[in-house]
Amino acid sequence: MAGFSSMSPLLSTCEKFDYSDSEDSVTSSGYDSAVLSVGNWSDSEIESEDEGGFNSDDMADIMIFENTKPITNTMEYILSMPSLCDVVFIVGEDESIIRGLKAVLASRNRIFYDMLMKKDEIESQDATESTKKSKTSRFPKFKKKSRKSNQDVEKKLTVVIKDYDFNVFSRLISFLHLGEVSVTPETVVGLMCAADEFKIPELQQACWDFCFRCLDNGNIATIVQSSQFYRGRPAADDLMFKLVGMMGGPKTTSV
């Protein structure tokens, strides 16, 4: 198993320092601190701050605080709490449930943005039509009580995903939320297909790098076996073709 991380940097007008992995750092309130010098500010940034009433003479006293670990930990906690998630994916033939945050998925990936916005629009239209029908009907409809496990799904934006198994799609959703993913021989082909479909080049390259490593540790057979579910997809077929070629020829890490 290999871990891949691709955290998007936080935006700042100053140079940033992250001491979250330093043994000398001391975190008391959820973040670390670092003193930034005036030399880190550009002229345009100084001018912008001056227009807002900021005194450039005091810039030497400015500090910016950053620690991405609390953000990741908070996101992991949110994903573990069904009541805090607003998107539900029903995945695979066994209809396993994976939860996520619409704002995060839509802002991190254009394909998910289009998918979720379209689904949200359809559900809103259905709800409006249902309300109109109930108002014009002479006899009100009484809904049967749903089981508790289904009530959460009914209240959330729900998307059915049949083309991926739970282990693969849960890793994809985790990567988009947390910026890291664990790649295994059993999931690498599915992740490669997902990276291709959802246009995530960094994840696609990570999967290819993992397959390259597997050439030396004897896991190619497991990868080939796990590819059965994704046979016929361009990304999976291309990966299998390249792996077979690499086993009998020169190695390359380019996708």
Reported as a single tens digit per residue, the pLDDT across 38-83 is 445 555 554 555 555 556 555 567 887 777 778 889 999 999 999 9
- Calpha distance 102→175 (Å, rounded): 14
| pLDDT at residue number 19 | 34
Tens-place pLDDT, residues 157-169 = 999 999 999 999 9
pTM exceeds 0.95 for this model:
no
Average pLDDT score over residue span 165-175? 96
- β-pairing, 2-5 vs 157-161, is unpaired
Tens-place pLDDT, residues 22-36 = 444 333 333 333 444
Q: How many residues does the chain have?
A: 255
Tens-place pLDDT, residues 192-230 = 999 999 999 999 999 999 998 888 777 888 898 888 899
Q: Which CATH number is 74-133+151-247's, of 3.30.559.10, 3.40.50.300, 3.30.710.10, 2.40.50.140?
A: 3.30.710.10
| pLDDT at residue number 135 | 60
